[in-house]
Amino acid sequence: MITAQIIINGLVQGVSFRYYTKKTALSLGLTGFVKNLKDGSVEIVVRGNKDNINKLINWCKKGSEQAKVENVKIKEINLIEKFNLFEIRY
Could you report the per-residue pLDDT of 11-62, keeping only the tens digit for each? Answer: 999 999 999 999 999 999 999 999 999 999 999 999 999 999 999 999 999 9
Q: Is the pLDDT of residue 78 over 90?
A: yes
Nearest of 84, 90, 69 to residue 6 by alpha carbon: 69
What pLDDT is attached to residue 54? 98
Q: Is the pLDDT of residue 81 over 90?
A: no
Which residues does the annotation mark as catalytic? 18, 36
Using CA atoms, how far apart are residues 29 and 47, in angstroms rounded to an integer?
A: 9
What pLDDT is attached to residue 80? 85
Which whole-number Å values give the CA distances from 22 to 9, 26, 55, in the listed order?
17, 6, 13
- Give me the domains of the chain, ranges plus CATH numbers: 2-89 (3.30.70.100)
